[in-house]
Structure formats: structure tokens, C-alpha cells
Amino acid sequence: MKYIPTIGLELHCELNTKSKVFSRGINHYNEIPNSNLDLLDLAFPGTLPVLNKEALRKAFKMSLALNSQQPKELIFDRKNYYYPDLPKGYQITQQTDPVGINGYLEIAVDDKKKKVLIHDIHLEEDTASMDHYEDFSLIDYNRCGVPLVEIVTEPCLHSAQEVVAYLETLRNTLKYCDVSEADTKMGQIRCDVNISLQKEGINTLGTKVEIKNINSFSNVAKAIEYEIKRQTEALEAGKSDEIIQETRRYDDTTQSTIRMRKKVEAIDYKYFVEPNIPKFKIEPEYLEKIREEIPELPFYRYERYVNDYKLNKADASIIIKDKDFADYFDKCALIMDPKIAANWLTVNILSILNKEDISISEFYITPDLLKQIIDKLEDKTISSKQAKEIFIKAIEQKREPKDFISSNITQVSDEGYLKDVIQKILNNCSQQVEEYKNGKDNLFKFFVGQVMKETKGKANPVITNKILKELLDEK
Amino acid sequence: MSYKTKSIETLHEELKSGQIKANELIQEAISEAKKYQKDYNFFVTIDENATYEGPIDNMLAGIPCAIKDNLSTKGMLSTASSNTLKDYIPIFDATAVEKLKEAGAVNIGKTVMDELGMGSTGTTAHTGIVYNPWDRKRMCGGSSSGSAAAVAAGIVPYALGSDTGDSIRKPAAYCGIVGYKPTYGLVSRFGLFAFASSLDHVGVLTRNVKDAAIVIDNIKGQDEKDMTSINLDQSLYQALDKKVAGKKLCYIKEICNIDEYENPSKELKESLTLFQKTLDKAKALGIKVEEVSIDKTLLSAIFPSYLCISCAEATSNDSNLTGILFGPRGTGKSVNQIMKDHRTKGFSPLIKRRFVIGSYVLQQENQEKYFKNAQRIRRLIVNKVNSLFEKYDGLILPCSAGPAPLLNQDNEEQISTNDILENHMAIGNFGGFPSITIPNGFVNDLPIGINITGKVLDDANVLNIAYAIESTMNYKNQIAKENTK
């Protein structure tokens, strides 16, 4: 019997605003704990939330990027519970009318397109971060009040592979919209997974298990795979009662999921409308302005690169990962062969960026400067080895590549001239020609070496090879 | 006493002319506050070092005032009369307090209140009962008990208060003074310790209507720290002209007609008679006064709806009182135990009861039946009253079934036969309507009040009508005379 997993995801993502979502506290990572604080972050009596317009704009931007429906009026809700990481005793979130509902994100899995359905996207505040020790805990309120969007999918994913493809596309989308740094290492993205298994051919969903707060995409995949295995084994052994509605967590060291609480122990959050933030109308013009700021999104760029530019999928995936990088590529593709440009970007340029730890926007060689090299390479004035050398020199000396493409380094492609040079060499090396003719094939490289020596390395290797072959065959 | 019955306007003139000195006035207020403190308990904190050195460039400059203890005062104890905050010294001023300071007002102390603003008796403060300056055997009403009493006793010409159900207007009535709650949002709530955010208002207690207008003029205005705050580009003080001929008021038959009550008490009869007499005075001013009828079922639903909504919001709003970040730290092995210990020891039984009600009505399985229905009733009432305001400038009603009750009675939250009459002023909070109580004479030698409520942002009109009616009576600037009967 085969079991089909059905998976839904809740992704929490910190927005990259200057200040917090309801207070004036600074929204920026600070290694000094409890330094980015405002009165509201510590819930002093009498403090009130004031909605950060920028956070709202970014939340709506994601809502639009995820093809969601936006509410006509905006309200926030309170989620009430006691925990030291939540000084107010409630979290301001959106339960009734979130910034987006019924959206979707298109992804590519195994060459197939898939629409991942988005149940809703809402704006809320983050809690403080806590470090637990054996007999005490430390609280850092810096994170308290940081704007979060929570993006909730429908239960429409069926494998770890699909989930990872969705998460990667979503992360790229978040970055493209400039709403988040979306860095899992910084805890800017955290993920809850809901998973259930059902027999193939049966339409009702199985018992739902929730795995909370997974902090990396690879751990999401591992947690899902572990959970599929655990549940399949239980079902196959006829122990379906082992699978109960519960919340588990993923344990990195044992690479397994561990029970946190059963559903019966679920908390009643006593949601109600936040009275300190007045209901206000969302004007279509306001949304339209935000929509105009959304760039072409990574999935659609990927499609365009593969279909229109005929890039290979690996290159296309690499290029779309970073919006500025893809923008750079798009500029190149207009002025040079896109495939050559893609090759340069994914090999030479990326290695420089990685080595120097800079972004493409800080990179010295602009598409126009790159064109200077590629043009000469294409008309075979320079070799690819020379091209690379010029590329490096230009970066090192911050000069235009064309400065290094002087007459004495350009390739010798003149066939008549090369023919004369090669003829002369072959005449002088009659012994080696004899040995070559007798089957010592690797002497071919020797002749090439001689040509290069004679031309100080400037002979076009392709033409050299061609003429050498012709002349040797004639002998 | 040289200044006790003087209005802000008069004090300002005398300060400006040099007839009186600000610091003498302030010293006198401080010594009066201390004199009353032992027997009446109006203050949580008296600032004996309060002085004024600035210019007399504003109506409030150099004039002493008092502030309810649920308004945040930078560097000065702000307890909201709760043990959970008994040592809490804020690092910031409430916007209203900040604006008073900018106007040159001199805060001489923080007044006792019902704990966290909940309650209407002035008996639940962590520092003890507030006694009525007209009669020590009686309560002041609440929750702005100390503010009302300090003004009634003549210690200060005005005090800030807060009003969630009738917390300014009821104690004002029981203390024989003016209590004014402006339109919701007109005064920023930033720095007001929240009780029920959708119902909370900052307002003022004074001894005459004009003073109330002056104080609110100085503290009103949109505040970027409170999203619900709004502007009113109008001087309430300058709008007072007593030109009320042709204005229209209505009163609710089900509240004001003695025939609606089974076995009415003598006090109730006298109160309603005084009310009718004042209506006659209003008519004499050229105001048209008409009787309207509202379904008694709807009126009876005001108090339970108020309780549902206010308790629900309060249980959430006061969830910050855990003793973790401020307030006395509880003891226990776990964080939950520490918070539980702090709250168990810190809150009075009334607060705990209200939190239980609030939690109950918010529970998922109860929310529709209680909390959401309460909100629906709130909307029905507001719609009904707004429809009256299409025709009338305001609603005029008696504040209570009689004068301040005796302290030995168990008055807290008992549903009585006078339920509608005692609780109708929450209408002003439901709709955020401007609402003012002014003295309306005496029953058993104890003051009672009359209330006028108008439509949102029509504060100037409401104040002007109150100002005109006030002028037909002799209670303006009165201070409490201890009733020894």
C-alpha cells in the first residue's frame, strides 16, 4: 500500500523595515541584547501600537506578488497568551482580514510547473528571543516587535522536494520584492510544517501533525522525510493510533521529530480585534502603486531565460537567485549573446563575487565593460585565456578592458601569415615531422608549442591547429 | 481660603496681574492636599516640591492641578492604585501630562482611583478607600475618585481623570462638580494605563464648564503616538457664548419618568424632580426639550454589554502586568508560577472577578454568545443614539438614582432596579460621544448631577449647552461642605 503525504507550510519572514512594526524601536540585528528597544517593546503601561506604514506596504507587496486578494478594509487582531517573550501578553496579528487571501505561487519541480496555493498572508509582530539554560533563561527583546509576514499555504504539497522548491522560489520572491533579507541563518525565515499521510486513492486527509519552528530549508526537507518515514512505518504496522494530532519539533542532533504537545492541550488564543488600530480603508490606487513596484519575479525570469534565451536550467537557476544579478544578466543579454553572457556570469563573475564577498552592484565590470571583452572574444581577436586575463587585470586596476586589448596582445588570426610561420617551423623540424608521420601523434602539441613560441603566444589556436593539420597531412 | 472657589480664568487674571503668586497658590494647594489626606485619602502621591518658575503666558500657567494615578508621569510614581504597580516610576509622560506641562500647569500630585480604572466606588485602591468630602460616610464614586474629591474639596481647580463607563462623570455628580469626557480620540490615550481601549477616554474634572473647556483645549489634538487620536481645530473655550436658544435636547422616558419605577425611593423621586426642574430652566433659555422612548430591553442591555466588552479588553490590556519587566517580582519555580504569584497577590478580588468575566466571554466557545453579541448591542445603541442626534443637539439625563451611596453598602456590580438609570452614561463611551456632567442641586444635602451627551466632535455645542444651563443654577465653583448630619 502506498501512502501519499500532504503538506502545508506556514512561513514566518522578518521584513527589512527601519523600525519595528508597531513601535519606534530599531529593526536591525544588534549583537548587544536589549539595545533596540522602545517603550512599547517592553509593554510599559500606557504605550500604544502605531502601525509602521512601510511594514504594511511591504506586506501588501508580498500579498500582490503572491497573487492574493486584498481586503477592502484593514484591521488587526490580538492573539492572547502569556509567555515572557511577549511582554504585552498578546501578539498583534491578523486573524480576521489579513493583507492577502487565496493567492498562489508558481514553482518548477522536475521540469513541471506547479501552482502552490496560498491560504493567506498576514502581518504581525515577532516575539523576543530566548536562550534557555539549565536553571535560567535569558531574554533579548531586540527581536520583540520586528515585523513579520506569515505566509500560509493550503495543504497542497506532496513531497520534500516540492516543499524545498516552493521555499526557494518564495525566498527568491521575497528578496526580489525587497521586503526581506530572507536569511535563514539569521532566523529571518522560520517555518512550521503540517503533514498528514493518506492511502493512495483516498481523498480524505489523514491525521495532521505539526512540526514547529524549523530554521533551515534542508532541515525542513529532513523533518518531512523523517515524518513520512515514521508515519508510513506506523501505518504499515497497523499502528495508526500512534499518529495523533499533535505539535512536534525537529531535533537537529538526532535528525528526528519530537513531540511537544497534543492537540487537546492547544491554547485558546481568545482572538479579538485590536482596538488601538482604527479600521481603515485600503484604496485601489494605493495597491496599484505598490503593484507597480513589483519586479518581474524569479519564476517568470527563469522561464524566460530557458525558453527565450535557451539557457541551460542550471545556469538559469543560478542567475535568478539574486535580483541584481539577474538584472545584470538581462542588461548583458541585450548587448551580447545571452548564452555566452550566462556562461561568464555563472563562472567568472560569480567566482570573483564569492572570492571578494561583494554583490553584483559593487562589481567593477559593468555589462558595457564586459561587452568590450566578449566582442573581441567572439571575433576571435583574443583567446578565451586572454579574455580571462584582461577581465582580471581590468578588475585589479579598475580600468576598462579595452585598455588591455592593445595590438601586441591581440591574436594573430591572419591565415597567410600563420601558414608561412608554420611552414618554416616544419621545414626546420624535419626529424620530428618524420616521427609524427610514423605515428607519434603527441608531437602535434610540440608543433603548436613551436608556433606559439614563434608568435609569442599570439597565434589563434584554432586557426593554428587547422593549418598545422593541413600542412602535416600534405607531407 | 483665598483661592478655593476661584475659576481657572480668575486665577489666571490674578496671577497675571500679580495679585497672587503662583508658588503661594501651589503651596496652599499642597498644604490643603496634605490636610485632607489623613482622613479622606485623595492622593497616592503628593509632590511637596512642586513649584512654578515660568511665565504666566497661558491660562493654565502656574496653576496647580492633580492627575489621576493611571496617567504616566515621568519620574513620579504611577500606580493606577494597584499593588502590581505599587513601586512603578515611569520613564515617560502621558501625552496629556506632557501637554499640561508645556502649558505651564503644575501637577501637585497623583490621585487615588479604583484599581486600574475598574470599579465605581473608590474603595478598591491599594492605598485604601477615598472618602467623599461632602460626607465622609459616603463614597466618591469612581474610578476617578481622588480627582473628583480633590477638586470638590477645593484643593485644585481641576484634575485629569479617565472615563471608560462613567468614571469621570459619575464621581463628578457624587462630588458636586463638573466632569467632562470629550469625544473619543480628542485627547490622546498615550500614557493612559489602558482599561478598555475602545472605551477609554482622558478627560477632566473641574468646578465649572468653562474651566473644563480651557483644560481640554490645552490637552486635545492628534498625537502620532495614538492612532485613534483626532484633531478638532476649534477652541472650546472661545465657543462658549450661551447662545442656546433654538437648540434641541431630548431625554429618555424609560429613564426619567418616575412611573417607570416600581416603589421608587424618596431619593429617586427627588432626583427626578430636580431633573425636571432643570429641564424647565433649559426651556426658559429657549432650548427645546422633548421626551423620546427607547426600548427598555435595549437600555437594560447597556450594562451587561459594557461589562462584557470592558472586561474582555481589560483582561488582555492588563496582561502586561506580570511582574517580569516591572512591578514587584513574584516568587516561584517557573516563569508561569512567578507571574501567577505576582497577579494573585497584586490584584484585588474585583479585578480578578472582572478578568474571569473577560476571559470567559472571549473564550472561543463563548465569544459569539457574549463578546460578539455585546458588540452588536453596542452598535445598536450607538445607531439608535446617533439617529436621535440627527434631530437633537444632545441627550440630557440624570446621572444617578440619588446622591453618593453610603460606604457600608455592598454596591459593587449588583444589578439593581435602578440598573438603567445608574449605567446609561456608558452610552457616551460606546459611541465615543462628548459627554459632560454638571451639578444639579442637592438631595439630602448631598450633590447630584445632570448629564448632557452630544454627537461625535460636537464638543463645543455640548459644552455650550452645559455652560448655559450651569448659569441658571447656583452650583458653579461650589466646593464641598462637610455634611455632619
Render pLDDT for A235-259 as a digit per residue (tens, 0 to 9). Answer: 888 888 888 888 899 998 898 998 8
Average pLDDT over residues A395-420: 78
Average pLDDT over residues A450-474: 84
Q: Which residue has the cell 516587535?
A: A145
Shortest CA distance to B334 belongs to which of A84, A276, A427, A194? A84
Shortest CA distance to A450 belongs to which of A475, A462, A432? A432
pLDDT score for B483? 55
pLDDT tens-place values along chain B, 485 residues long:
468 889 999 999 999 999 999 999 999 999 999 999 999 999 999 999 999 999 999 999 999 999 999 999 999 999 999 999 999 999 999 999 999 999 999 999 999 999 999 999 999 999 999 999 999 999 999 999 999 999 999 999 999 999 999 999 999 999 999 999 999 999 999 999 999 999 999 999 999 999 999 999 999 999 999 999 999 999 999 999 999 999 999 999 999 999 999 989 999 999 999 999 999 999 999 999 999 999 999 999 999 999 999 999 999 999 999 999 999 999 999 889 999 999 999 999 999 999 999 999 999 999 999 999 999 999 999 999 999 999 999 999 999 999 999 997 665 545 566 889 999 999 999 999 999 999 999 999 999 999 999 999 999 999 999 999 999 999 999 999 875 44
CA distance A103 to A385: 49
b (16+ CB within 10 A) / e for A416-454: eebeebbeebbeebeebbeebeeeeeebeeebbebbeeb
CB contact under 8 A, B339 and A82: yes
Q: Which residue has the cell 536569511?
A: A183
Shortest CA distance to A111 belongs to which of A297, A316, A295? A316
Average pLDDT over residues A350-375: 92
Q: Residues with Cβ < 8 Å from B420, sequence gap 6 or more?
A: B254, B255, B296, B299, B300, B302, B303
CA distance A473 to A453: 22
A43 neighbourhood in chain B, CB within 8 Å? 320, 325
Q: Residues with Cβ < 8 Å from B396, sequence gap 6 or more?
A: B249, B250, B251, B279, B282, B289, B450, B451, B452
Which of the four pLDDT bands, split at 50, 70 and 90, describes residue A136? confident
- For chain A, the residues whose C-beta falls within 8 A of a C-beta of chain B are 39, 42-51, 78, 80, 82-84, 87-90, 137, 268, 270, 272, 275-278
Could you give the 3-state DSSP secondary structure of residue A420? helix
CB contact under 8 A, B91 and A49: no
Q: Which three cell numbers stand for residue B98?
A: 506632557
pLDDT score for A138? 93
Closest CB to B193 among A45, A275, A276:
A45
- What is the DSSP secondary-structure string of B317-375? HGGG-SSSSSS-----SSHHHHHHHHHHHHS-HHHHHHHHHHHHHHSHHHHIIIIIHHH
CB atoms within 10 A of CB B3: 18
Which of the four pLDDT bands, split at 50, 70 and 90, describes residue A441? confident
Kindly state the DSSP code that residue A99 receives in the 8-state scheme: S
The sign of the torsion formed by the CA atoms of A417, A418, A419, A424 equals positive
Task: Measure Cα distances from B183 to A220, A372, B200, B250, B313 in Å.
Answer: 52, 70, 11, 19, 20
Tally of structural domains, chain B: 1
CB atoms within 10 A of CB B277: 14
CA distance A228 to B311: 46
- What is the DSSP secondary-structure string of B34-74? HHHHHHH--EEEE-TT----S---STTTT-EEEEETTB-BT
CA distance A152 to A150: 6
CB contact under 8 A, A50 and B320: no
B143 noted as active-site residue: yes
Partnered with residue A106 across adjacent β-strands are: A115
Q: Residues with Cβ < 8 Å from A391, sequence gap 6 or more?
A: A348, A365, A373, A401
CA distance B312 to B184: 19
pTM for the structure as a whole = 0.89
For residue A275, the distance in angstroms to the closest alpha carbon of chain B comes to 5
Q: Residues with Cβ < 8 Å from B264, sequence gap 6 or more?
A: B258, B272
Q: Does the pLDDT at position A425 exceed 60?
A: yes
Give the length of chain A. 475
CB contact under 8 A, A80 and B92: no
Instruction: Report which residue type is found at B229.
Output: S
Beta strand pairing call for B178-181 and B158-163: unpaired
Kindly state the DSSP code that residue B223 receives in the 8-state scheme: B
Closest CB to A51 among B192, B227, B336:
B227
Show the domain range for B213. 1-485
Helix A461-474 × helix A415-428 angle, to 10°:
50
The sign of the torsion formed by the CA atoms of A375, A381, A383, A386 equals negative
ipTM of the complex: 0.96
Decide if B127 contacts B112 (C-beta within 8 A). yes
B2 noted as active-site residue: no
The sign of the torsion formed by the CA atoms of A444, A448, A454, A460 equals positive
Run of H or E residues at A92: strand A90-93
CATH of the domain at B404: 3.90.1300.10
Q: Does the pLDDT at position A412 exceed 80?
A: no
Distance of alpha carbon B109 from the chain centroid: 17
Q: Average pLDDT over chain A, rounded to whole?
A: 91
Helix A461-474 × helix A443-454 angle, to 10°:
120
Level-2 CATH architecture, domain A415-474: Orthogonal Bundle (1.10)
pLDDT score for A261? 78
For residue B92, the distance in angstroms to the closest alpha carbon of chain A comes to 9
B416 noted as active-site residue: no
Q: Hey, where are the domains in chain A?
A: 3-286, 294-404, 415-474
Decide if A167 contacts A123 (C-beta within 8 A). no
Distance of alpha carbon A58 from the chain centroid: 18
User: Terminal CA-to-CA distance of chain B, rounded, Å?
Assistant: 24
Give the length of chain B. 485
Among A38, A44, A53, A56, pick the best mutation site for testing chain B contact (most B Cβ within 10 A): A44
A24 neighbourhood in chain B, CB within 8 Å? none
pLDDT score for B1? 46
Closest CB to A45 among B320, B324, B362:
B320
Is pLDDT larger for residue A381 or for residue B165? B165
Shortest CA distance to B301 belongs to which of B235, B374, B236, B369? B374
Phi–psi pair at B110, nearest 5 degrees: -105, 130
B325 neighbourhood in chain A, CB within 8 Å? 42-44, 87
Q: Which three cell numbers stand for residue B255?
A: 429613564
- What is the DSSP secondary-structure string of A256-318? EEEEEEEGGG------EE-TTS--EE--HHHHHHHHHTPPPPHHHHHHHHHHTS---HHHHHH
Q: Which of B72, B81, B82, B143 is catalytic?
A: B143
For residue A49, the distance in angstroms to the closest alpha carbon of chain B comes to 7
Which of the four pLDDT bands, split at 50, 70 and 90, describes residue A329? very high
For residue A36, the distance in angstroms to the closest alpha carbon of chain B comes to 16
Q: Which three cell numbers stand for residue B447?
A: 450633590
Run of H or E residues at A137: strand A137-140
Instruction: Report which residue type is found at A274.
Output: E
Which of the four pLDDT bands, split at 50, 70 and 90, describes residue A409? low
Shortest CA distance to B182 belongs to which of B437, B457, B394, B385? B457
Partnered with residue A139 across adjacent β-strands are: A130
Phi–psi pair at B135, nearest 5 degrees: -165, 110
